[in-house]
Structure 1
Amino acid sequence: MSYLISLNPATGEPVGEVPTTPLEAIPAMVCAAHDAQIEWSHLSVEERGRCLLQAAGALEQEAQALGELLSQEMGKPLRKGIGEVRFCAASIPPRVKQALAALQPRLSADEDTESTLYYDPLGVCAVISPWNYPMSMPQWMLLPALLGGNAVLFKPSEETPLTGQAYADLLNRFLPRNVLQVVQGTEQQGRALVEADINMVAFTGSREAGKDIMARAASGLKRLMMELGGKDPLLVLDDADLDAAAEFACANSFENSGQACVSTERVYVDRQVSICFEQRVARLASAYRLGPWHDEQARLGPMIHQRQRQHVLDQIAAALAAGARRIYGDDDHPERYVKPTILADCTPDMAIMREETFGPVMCIQAYDGLDEALRLANGTQFGLGAVVFGEDEEQAWQVARHLDAGMIGVNKSCFGTVECPWVGARQSGYGYHGSVEGFHQFCQLRVISKGRDG
């Protein structure tokens, strides 16, 4: 039997290991999921919700231990790891409430016909999740799948298998046998899962992996819900509150060491205020201290692995060689880490302005006029999130309406209310989750009609 060995990103030392799921075991797991799904689907939404509400209580009670595991394995500061677990616990009750509303049959009638719309389970769903938020990211996909009456085969990232297993083990205390099973492994197991006899794939990860999943799922015309990569822009208008804009830019560029799908990776600033903005972000960046997960003073942890660290450093070096101006940071990056770095005078031809970075780097380009700002911001194949800062809120709102992204914030992050979906545009998303409409992505809509008397 082979094992996945999980490494602490700050030290390279093993945190633990889990058995790799043999490829030949996956078909039997799928069969077991189909069998378990029948009984699970016979439970009401309320009954399924009660199972998950019990899990929410256990998550809150065990947040300290689970947060320590998450932080050791992924590298983020302990308060962030515990915070992620507690966020998962707190977000289950509103999602259960949302499901109760979303999955009720809906009646429709005209002069001749009465119809009922039912939101039935699809069957078996594969959930394939990333490493950067190794508990909250899978939960966003697992909850609608399970509440919708589906069985799930869950493949956590091979970088964070322990957190994924611990999360699934906790949920399984309250779920019937085989409603939720874990597939551990690399892309080999992921591909086998996509090609198996399942009904849906829910995936969060890179655009390239999403394309591969789409191709492999095509022969079975499987339902897909995919959140893919991003290259989110921030537009700072000439009347923006520069202190607020700079604080947001640093927080959203450096959060999780830049390893976030809606990280701010491009900043476009009106030339009239660009120098003042640069001065502010450089000053704020000095407060971001690096350190391992247990360092209480650390705000940023290590990169997940050396490959990702080198990718970020290569992008920085290429940008500097092409004429970018470094206004914060240097080349003295500690082993396993990347220091917060701010580059100005960036241009669209630089890889760091076109390709996903996923590191603690802020890239600034000055613009002349809103037409140029919108052209630059929309000049990408990505379209997950975007943000606009401007004191004239009506103007900022109109700028936001011209941005080609799925989620756009005005003087705040791109996160919407709890009722809003998490949705990407262009090649950053295929389907969505996190709303009444998002629950329907995990369901088979069925319409039954009869004639009306008289």
Structure 2
Amino acid sequence: MSEQTTLIHDTSSIPVCSAVTGQTVYQLQESGQEGVNTLFEQARTVARELRQTPLKQRQHAVEQVMDYIRDNRDHIVDRICDETGKTRTDALVSEIMGVLDNLEWNVHNAPKILKDEKVATPITLLGKKSRIFHEPYGVILKVAPWNYPFHIAMTFSLGAFLAGNAVILKPSEQTPLQGLLEEVLAASPLIKRAVQVAYGTGITAQQLIAARPDKIFFTGSTRTGKRILRQASDLLIPAEMELGGKDQMIVFDDVNLKRTVAGALWGALTNAGQSCTSVERLYIHDSIYDEFVKQLVTETEKLVVNTGDRGDSDIGAITAGFQLNIIEQHVEDARSKGAKILTGGARLGDNFYLPTVITDITPDMQLHTEETFGPLIPVYRFSSEKDVIRETNSFQYGLSASVWSKNLNRAERVARAIEVGAVSINNVMLTEGNPALPFGGQKESGFGRAKGAEGLRAFTRSKSILIDKQSGIIEPNWYPYTMKKYRIFDKLIEVLFTKSPVKLLKLAVTGMKLEGEAKQPRG
């Protein structure tokens, strides 16, 4: 495989700013059509070679990258924190540990997930064998978001590679981690060639889609996802979408208040609320509402807002300036329409927003219906299980949720009733902590699944195989058709699909008649 640079150069320049200082740290180059063409030429060459590369070799390559991430985690955390404004603990746990945990699971389970499957063959096809091959697509395009730029880039790219694909990764221009991604991928010579990085804005994304990858995986906003789908559909390119969320946390009256308040606090504010599965709708049962909110406000005001920490800060910066504007707009809109801001509700410095608890929310407020993606805890009250299910299902989003109750039968009943892709019971955002569980949403939160066996197989096409012996047998359903054969087939349908204690015996007799008739030439 020939070596190619993974950075495409053109004349367009995009400033990349530190979320901590606000200063430009480097200039990013927008890709051009010629560069995109070069990327795809190499990717298709690599994809053909990867089809002949044993899985063990691909597993070893991923393990080389995992070792590098583990051994250089402090350096990687530094870069992540600078571009995203995350606290060090958020970066270490969600980005580093999350990547290693998912990749380790994939490497360990890939042999059984990707191996050829034996499938039962019906009695009417007696003597034949059935198989399913799970084959790589070829070239996967991953368009990654700005909120978890390392985790999502690495887990998708290396998962696709492990399944046998070449990958073109398009990071967000907000947090591209230029140079760091290449440095990590270069830990394996094979992955360095197989996974390439294309930098730029939506212009680059459009050019990459126009070059016809074999499948697209997108993580980001619902609005952008719809644009990508429109372009992909015209080209008949399959795509999987992990889009926005407005996740609900439903708290019944029998919970441990202290623990549940702590869960709500973290679930809403981790990564400064910049997660698609952050709690954006906190439903509290009437009977505990007042005390719960009181404790929630008290604990919120204890949080440390800071970056550049050593691991002892709770809330970091808002990564993108436009997102900070959206947060302010949602809060001010709610305030002007009668919502109560119990704590927070203001910008802190240039890049921070105070953790904010909001009550008395009404349907006409933007933060009620739109994804805020910030350190807000919008609190609602409810009185009955039926009402809270109806309310939560009325939203257009359906990514994930959590249900809290000592009554596990009730919690599971509610989990089944709400229209989301994942539910944590008596915990929050925990389905994402198990690499074996698939991740994805419903409705305008997208479709398709990442993680788990379903997620790894999403990088493959299934191919059905039926194996027959090379013999002189003429199949009964082949030509010639005769009236006698028609009558025997008619009898076969009756025997096959009617319950009878001697069904197998009748099938054998009918089958022998068909075989005999199939040997007869047309008279």
For the superposition of Structure 1 and Structure 2, which TM-score range results when normalised by the shorter chain? over 0.9
Cα deviation for residue 383 of structure 1 reads: 0.5
Letter in 2 for 1:100: P
For residue 439 of structure 1, what is the aligned residue in structure 2?
456
Among candidates 78, 101, 119, match of residue 88 of structure 2: 78
Tell me how far apart the structure 2 counterparts of residues 208 and 238 of structure 1 sit (CA, whole Å).
37
Cα deviation for residue 332 of structure 1 reads: 5.7
For residue 58 of structure 1, what is the aligned residue in structure 2?
68
- Higher mean Cα deviation, 276-285 or 75-84? 75-84
- Higher mean Cα deviation, 353-362 or 373-382? 373-382
Question: Could you report, residue by residue, the CA deviation over 1:77-101 in whole angstroms, capped at 9, with x for unpaired residues?
Answer: 1233233224323432221112211
Letter in 2 for 1:129: A
For residue 7 of structure 2, what is the aligned residue in structure 1?
none
Question: Could you report, residue by residue, the CA deviation over 1:323-374 in whole angstroms, capped at 9, with x for unpaired residues?
Answer: 2111122446332211000001112332101100000000011112112111
Tell me how far apart the structure 2 counterparts of residues 106 and 376 of structure 1 sit (CA, whole Å).
43
For residue 100 of structure 1, what is the aligned residue in structure 2?
111
Tell me how far apart the structure 2 counterparts of residues 170 and 145 of structure 1 sit (CA, whole Å).
16
For residue 22 of structure 1, what is the aligned residue in structure 2?
32
Cα deviation for residue 135 of structure 1 reads: 0.8
Among candidates 423, 429, 440, match of residue 423 of structure 1: 440
Tell me how far apart the structure 1 counterparts of residues 440 and 424 of structure 2 sit (CA, whole Å).
13
Distance 1:94 1:402, change over 3 A: same
Distance 1:121 1:330, change over 3 A: closer
- Higher mean Cα deviation, 196-205 or 135-144? 135-144
Q: Does 1:374 align with 2:389?
A: yes
Cα deviation for residue 296 of structure 1 reads: 4.7
Tell me how far apart the structure 2 counterparts of residues 223 and 331 of structure 1 sit (CA, whole Å).
43
Q: Does 1:166 align with 2:180?
A: yes
Kept in 1, the 8 Å contact 2:241–2:447? The answer is yes
For residue 245 of structure 2, what is the aligned residue in structure 1?
230
Q: Secondary structure at the match of 1:422?
A: coil
Tell me how far apart the structure 2 counterparts of residues 356 and 207 of structure 1 sit (CA, whole Å).
10
Tell me how far apart the structure 2 counterparts of residues 271 and 60 of structure 1 sit (CA, whole Å).
47
- Count residues in correspondence: 453
Q: Does 1:313 align with 2:313?
A: no
Among candidates 36, 46, 55, match of residue 56 of structure 2: 46
Letter in 2 for 1:425: Q
Structure whose CA Rg is larger: 2
Distance 1:82 1:332, change over 3 A: closer
Cα deviation for residue 386 of structure 1 reads: 0.4
Kept in 1, the 8 Å contact 2:170–2:197? The answer is yes
- Higher mean Cα deviation, 373-382 or 91-100? 91-100
Letter in 1 for 2:180: A
Q: Does 1:123 align with 2:133?
A: no
Among candidates 424, 428, 435, match of residue 409 of structure 1: 424
Q: Secondary structure at the match of 1:222?
A: coil
Cα deviation for residue 131 of structure 1 reads: 1.1
Supply the RMSD in Å over aligned alpha carbons: 1.7
Cα deviation for residue 209 of structure 1 reads: 0.8
For residue 248 of structure 1, what is the aligned residue in structure 2?
263
Kindly report which structure 2 residues correspond to 1:175-324, keeping only aligned pairs within 5 A, or say none: 175-176=189-190, 178-294=193-309, 296-324=311-339
Q: Secondary structure at the match of 2:305?
A: coil
Tell me how far apart the structure 1 counterparts of residues 22 and 78 of structure 2 sit (CA, whole Å).
17
For residue 7 of structure 1, what is the aligned residue in structure 2?
17
Distance 1:150 1:58, change over 3 A: same
For residue 519 of structure 2, what is the aligned residue in structure 1?
none
Kept in 2, the 8 Å contact 1:270–1:366? The answer is yes
Letter in 2 for 1:189: T
Tell me how far apart the structure 2 counterparts of residues 313 and 146 of structure 1 sit (CA, whole Å).
40
Kept in 2, the 8 Å contact 1:9–1:73? The answer is yes
Letter in 1 for 2:295: R
Structure 2: state its 5+ residue gaps.
Answer: 1-10, 474-523
Structure 1: state its 5+ residue gaps.
Answer: none
Letter in 2 for 1:391: K
Tell me how far apart the structure 2 counterparts of residues 5 and 384 of structure 1 sit (CA, whole Å).
32
Question: Could you report, residue by residue, the CA deviation over 1:396-422 in whole angstroms, capped at 9, with x for unpaired residues?
Answer: 111111110000011012433321111
TM-score scaled by length of structure 2? 0.83
Q: Secondary structure at the match of 2:358?
A: strand
Percentage of identical aligned residues: 26
Tell me how far apart the structure 2 counterparts of residues 415 and 362 of structure 1 sit (CA, whole Å).
18
Larger relative contact order (Cα-Cα within 8 Å, sequence gap ≥ 6): 1
Question: Could you report, residue by residue, the CA deviation over 1:379-408 in whole angstroms, capped at 9, with x for unpaired residues?
Answer: 111111101111111111111111100000
For residue 510 of structure 2, what is the aligned residue in structure 1?
none
- Higher mean Cα deviation, 258-267 or 341-350? 341-350
